[in-house]
Chains A and B, each alone.
Chain A
């Protein structure tokens, strides 16, 4: 950790183009986060690194922009009755433990296998988690859409019904989002896994939101909104840890926040216009596209570790650029779906209001 202050001293010079780039990426990331509760952060860290920001400073500054953004989003969505603060805080505390353990694992892997080993671990975690969870979420969203029951109230999954039926004395807590009591013992592994994923791929919500929906039985809107509380708790603890080592570049965090606070408000407003399955759809689409982005990087790290034939520099560059482009495409696709759904929702509401006015007249 002793060489960290030197790395921190390499804070980049900001020019107008850098500021504009961070603002725009922040806005799009905020829009998606406001809608699905997470998901904007995974483009920001590589985005900052592409500007020449050292890796640890990029991670630290990203985290420092994440918790105030999540706070604003959570407050906004709490106004619409979508947030379960109790569930978010308890989940967040276990997630925080997962973050610290995940960071510890990362350090161990880095010490044993170097940067390439650490990157391979991150990419494999991305591919496995996004393939399993993303595939499931997307399949469920498409199934709901095709069934023609998109307007109907969401059904609690069989697993969630079982979880809610288990009563362990002394551990039961009532959660308003579930409208049921659940043993806190179920929250420990879910929160911990969320934190570990956040420490590994920077987006814990890809486990947090689906687990609240499918394992605990929260409605999609409440699960995604409560994830913002979890992100706040995790982000605050993580940012403080990084700030203790002088790694937070507050200029970068501030500029990203400038854009993301516009985005998160808009994303939160958007949730009030859409059907619940849209949350799952946006999340599933982003997860599946990002999966391909990270899968492209696996051969690069395997080659750096000498496990496969060495790739040429030009091949590595093409794979890296394509991977980043796919990641940006994932975020843009998510933002497009959110804005489109919001536009259609507003249009439908306006038409309904006009109809009511005409009928009253």
Chain B
């Protein structure tokens, strides 16, 4: 029971709600003002940055929401994937290591 409670506690429900509301707000603003936005965003020249910036904003806000959404539903990557992340192979460089040289320690 305590394990189940622990799992529930870990789920980012609060963050999902915050990002979900921000995302909904963004889409409502976009669709309610579509006439003005379309006219402004299609002027070309420097106005070209507006659709690009909006696309970035959607990817950050809505992307955050969708990520938390699947986490809350319990759809997450297998633990093996997280383990693989920490067990990445070390690069093999073709440098030569100094070899230990035999030394003569004999006394005359």
Q: Which residue of A lies closest to B93 (CB)?
A: A174
Give the number of residue pairs across the A-B interface with Cβ within 8 Å: 136
A272 interface contact, C-beta 8 A: yes
Binary CB contact string for chain A from 324 to 346 against chain B (1 if under 8 A, 0 otherwise): 00000000000000000000011
Complex CA–CA separation, A262 to B69 (angstroms): 8
Task: Evaluate contact between A254 and B85: CB separation under 8 angstroms.
Answer: no
Contact count band on B: 35 or more
Partner of B78, one of A180, A181, A272: A272
The prevalent SS among residues of B at the interface is helix
State whether the Cβ of B96 lies closer than 8 Å to any Cβ in chain A.
Answer: no
Note all chain B residues with C-beta closer than 8 A to A272.
Answer: 77-78, 80-81
Q: Quick check: A250 and B81 within 8 Å, CB to CB?
A: no
Q: Which of B69, B70, B77, B93 has the most A CB atoms < 10 Å from its CB?
A: B77
Report whether B88 and A80 are in contact in the complex, using a CB–CB cutoff of 8 Å. Answer: no
The minimal Cβ–Cβ distance linking A39 to chain B, given in whole angstroms, is 19
Q: Which of B46-85 contact A (CB under 8 A)?
A: 47-52, 54-56, 58-59, 62-63, 66-67, 69-70, 75-82, 84-85
A282 at the B interface (CB under 8 A): no
> Taking the complex as formed, is A292 at the interface, i.e. its CB lies under 8 A from any CB of chain B?
no
A244 interface contact, C-beta 8 A: yes
- Measured CB to CB, the closest approach of chain B to A125, in angstroms, equals 27
Question: Across the interface, which residues of A come within 8 angstroms of B59, CB to CB?
Answer: 68-69, 71-72, 257, 261
Least distance between A128 CB and chain B CB atoms (Å): 32
- Name B77-108 residues within 8 Å CB distance of A: 77-82, 84-85, 88-89, 91-94
List CB contacts (< 8 Å) of A248-274 with chain B: 248-251, 253-254, 257-258, 261-262, 265-266, 268-269, 272-273
Contact yes or no, B44 A251, CB < 8 A: no
A257 CA / B30 CA spacing, docked (Å): 13
Q: List 21 A-B contacts (CB under 8 A).
A: A5-B42, A64-B52, A64-B55, A68-B59, A69-B59, A71-B56, A71-B59, A80-B77, A176-B89, A179-B89, A181-B94, A240-B48, A243-B41, A246-B43, A246-B44, A261-B66, A262-B70, A268-B77, A269-B76, A272-B81, A349-B79
Chain B residues with a Cβ under 8 A of chain A: 27, 30-31, 34, 37-38, 41-45, 47-52, 54-56, 58-59, 62-63, 66-67, 69-70, 75-82, 84-85, 88-89, 91-94
Given contacts A71-B63, A243-B51, A261-B63, 20 further A-B contacts (CB under 8 A): A5-B42, A8-B42, A9-B42, A64-B52, A72-B59, A75-B63, A81-B84, A246-B47, A247-B42, A250-B50, A250-B51, A251-B30, A253-B51, A253-B55, A261-B58, A262-B69, A268-B77, A269-B70, A269-B76, A269-B77
Nearest 7 interchain pairs by C-beta: A68-B59, A246-B42, A272-B81, A243-B48, A81-B85, A72-B63, A272-B77
